[in-house]
Amino acid sequence: MGIEEEFARWRAYASAQPTLAADDIAEMEGHLQDQVADLAAAGLDDDEAFLIAIKRMGRVDDISREFARVHSERLWKQLLPVAEPAGPERREVAVVLALAVGAALVVRLGIALLPDEVALRLAAVGVLPFLTAYFAWKRRLRPPVAGVLTAVFVVSGLLLGLLPFDDGGATGVLAILHAPVALWLTVGIAYAGGDWRSHERRMDFVRFTGEWIVYYTLIALGGGVLVGLTAGIFNAIGVDPTTVLATWVLPCGAAGAVLVAAWLVEAKQAVIENIAPVLTLVFTPLTLALLIAVLGGFIARPRVIDGGRDLLVLMALILVLVLGLWLYAVSARAPERAAGLFDRLQVAMLVAAIGVDLIVLVAMTARIAEFGASANKVAALGLNLVILVNLVRSAWLGGRFALGRGSLVELERWQTTYLPLYGVWAAAVVCVLPPVFGFA
Amino acid sequence: MSTPLRIDKDLVAASATPLVLGILAEEESHGYAILKKITELSGGRLAWTDGMLYPLLHRLERSGQVAAAWGVSETGRRRKVYAITATGRAALAERHGQWQVVSEALERIWDRFGDLGGDLGGDLGGDLGGEPSLGGA
């Protein structure tokens, strides 16, 4: 092996150490080269000289541990570059900030001009186009696709704004809850750069969504603390800050944070581990325990099950949680790793969720048959069914995978194929349910 | 010259900072040259693991005792050159004082061992370049 290759191997090994920066490695490599040159001048051949130089340098692991004691910060990956962002990055920051301000202004205008409930109903139509625009800009979306997405937002806006929802009615509240879900998939088309048929892009969007939720929650927590402090201080000096905070700071902040969180997820994608799968790891066993406790509760008190539609709504939320845990575990799973204990735990969680849900569904179907349907019941029942179908198929595929048959690809394909259905269901709740139930 | 004496690693660690600062106080230098200088000063008896110099230099840089800049060597290779700062000079002066106290105290101990003709002489004999019989007598 030539001496250049020896150096390259040493460099590659040193580069794998997280605490050694490129400059440190270059510095030490320079040292090795000086040493080799000196030893060669003293009559050794290159290979011998290299061996001695390496031996004197000491083990890379030891050096890297010493460096870690000096530069402990290097063990923590940094999201934002320490140096000032260069040209393209700076332009992206500018675009994101401009879009965030735009979203905040639209929300603020809605509050100023529209009745509260209409403004809430239109919030998603007001904010998500800016997020879509960000991805359209970043992924260089083709104009025809961008046109279709624009049309979707315009039509959604007209429907949500002009349909005669009753004030404070159930269908209005359902529309407020479901419109963001349906429109989020529209964002997904822009996220995928228009390539929405691709299973890989869909899975990327699932990952993005999980991280976005985590980042948005963190920003919301920080914002909440700031707002609380501000409110406290103004109250203490006798100025009532409620109106300003409720009609300016909170809504504008919430709208702007949508963009900022998305940008953070984009920026950190390759830098920092995804956090959603880590949370999955923590919460899967806990959720399994919760489901088993619920099952136990049902068995102990079978009468509670026809306690009303709250149970159905809660059950739908638990299913959303289980689905999320399952989805993020699948999205982060390394395909080459063999099935293990955690995979079996997950299948157990799916089976327990299906069991609990079936009990609730049977009870509620009987109840609807007896007392008639309402918009809320139908919405909760439908969400239950949409997720249940996914979970049953997932449990089947996951069980096969955990037993060493079947492949991970099958599992992923099933999830990504099913994805648009959530959007379709949400859109149906927004557009079909209200007329059926007379916008009550 | 005798084979390198194995010096306790705590002693190496304690002396490393004043040695490096002292060398840099003469003139700015790069890592490899600093190590060559240390070998030269100790007559080859103070052997370091070369790699450990670099974390030390970074620590000194971080605490502001040396300043570093990338330069180019005469062979055209990039090289990080270190220079002592005012803080570093102050630290060196302080270390100097400390070491003087320690070495004066030790000096007296060694003298007394000389008088007592203690066992110590046997260990030190070879390295002090004296005759082995000195200690045994």
Distances (CA, A) of A18 to A31, A71, A72, A79: 20, 11, 10, 15
Count structural domains, chain A.
3
Question: Domain range spanning residue A64?
Answer: 3-75
The domain boundary, picked from A247, A272, A297, lies at A272
The reply to whether A128 and A160 lie within a common domain is: yes
Which residues 22-41 of B have a C-beta within 8 angstroms of A? 30-32, 35
pLDDT at residue number A410: 85
Asked if the structure places residue A38 within a domain, the reply is yes
The reply to whether A287 and A322 lie within a common domain is: yes
The reply to whether A54 and A181 lie within a common domain is: no
Q: What is the pTM of this model?
A: 0.71
The reply to whether A195 and A247 lie within a common domain is: yes
Looking at the predicted structure, is the pLDDT value of residue A57 above 80?
yes
The reply to whether A118 and A63 lie within a common domain is: no
Dmax (CA) for chain A in angstroms is 99
The reply to whether A134 and A103 lie within a common domain is: yes
Residues A31, A52: contact at Cβ < 8 Å?
Answer: no
pLDDT at residue number A369: 81
Question: What pLDDT digit, counting tens, does each position of B38-97 carry?
Answer: 988 988 888 788 888 999 999 899 889 999 989 887 777 888 999 999 999 999 999 999
The pair of structure tokens assigned to B66 is 């040396």
Confidence of residue A250 (pLDDT cuts 50, 70, 90): very high
DSSP of A63-107 = HHHHHHHH-GGGGS--SS-SSPP-HHHHHHHHHHHHHHHHHHHHH
Question: What pLDDT digit, counting tens, does each position of A66-112 carry?
Answer: 888 887 777 666 555 444 556 677 888 899 999 999 999 999 999 99
Q: Which residue has the higher pLDDT, B133 or B94?
A: B94
DSSP of B36-103 = HHHHHHTTT-S---GGGHHHHHHHHHHTTSEEEEEEE-TTS-EEEEEEE-HHHHHHHHHHHHHHHHHH
Q: Which chain A residues are within 8 Å of B71, Cβ to Cβ?
A: none
Asked if the structure places residue A144 within a domain, the reply is yes
Q: Which chain A residues are within 8 Å of B72, Cβ to Cβ?
A: none
The reply to whether A226 and A332 lie within a common domain is: no
Among A60, A69, A70, the residue to mutate for chain B (most B Cβ within 10 A) = A70
The reply to whether A268 and A280 lie within a common domain is: no
Looking at the predicted structure, is the pLDDT value of residue A224 above 60?
yes
pLDDT at residue number B4: 55
Confidence of residue A314 (pLDDT cuts 50, 70, 90): confident
Q: Give the least confident one: A209-223, B8-22, B73-87, B114-128.
A: B114-128
The domain boundary, picked from A241, A272, A303, lies at A272
Asked if the structure places residue A41 within a domain, the reply is yes
Asked if the structure places residue A433 within a domain, the reply is no
Looking at the predicted structure, is the pLDDT value of residue B125 above 50?
no
Counting residues of chain A whose pLDDT is more than 70, the rounded percentage is: 94
Asked if the structure places residue A194 within a domain, the reply is yes
Question: What pLDDT digit, counting tens, does each position of A414-423 carry?
Answer: 999 999 999 9
Question: Domain coordinates of chain B in residue numbers?
Answer: 9-136
Residue B124 CA to its chain's centroid (Å)? 19
Asked if the structure places residue A11 within a domain, the reply is yes
Question: What pLDDT digit, counting tens, does each position of B94-124 carry?
Answer: 999 999 999 999 999 988 877 665 555 444 4
Asked if the structure places residue A420 within a domain, the reply is no
CA-CA-CA-CA dihedral for B99, B100, B106, B112, to nearest 10 = 180
Looking at the predicted structure, is the pLDDT value of residue B3 above 70?
no
Which residue in the set A26, A56, A70 is minimally distant from B50, CB to CB?
A56
The reply to whether A264 and A290 lie within a common domain is: no
The domain boundary, picked from A226, A251, A272, lies at A272
The reply to whether A112 and A180 lie within a common domain is: yes
Pick the CATH number of B9-136 from 3.40.50.300, 3.90.1640.30, 3.40.50.170, 1.10.10.10: 1.10.10.10
Question: For A395-416, b where at least 16 C-beta lie within 10 A, e where not — what string?
Answer: bebbbbbbeeebebeebbebbb
Q: Does A27 touch chain B (CB under 8 A)?
A: yes
pLDDT at residue number A1: 60
CA proximity to A377, closest of A438, A303, A437, A302: A437
Asked if the structure places residue A351 within a domain, the reply is yes
ipTM for the complex shown:
0.75
Average pLDDT over every residue of A332-337: 74
CA proximity to A125, closest of A146, A151, A95, A96: A151
The reply to whether A219 and A322 lie within a common domain is: no
Q: Does B50 touch chain A (CB under 8 A)?
A: yes
Q: Give phi and psi for B7, each to the nearest 5.
A: -100, 135
The reply to whether A262 and A283 lie within a common domain is: no
Q: Give the least confident one: A99-103, A338-342, A345-349, B118-122.
A: B118-122
Looking at the predicted structure, is the pLDDT value of residue A42 above 60?
yes
- B55–A28 CB contact, under 8 Å: no
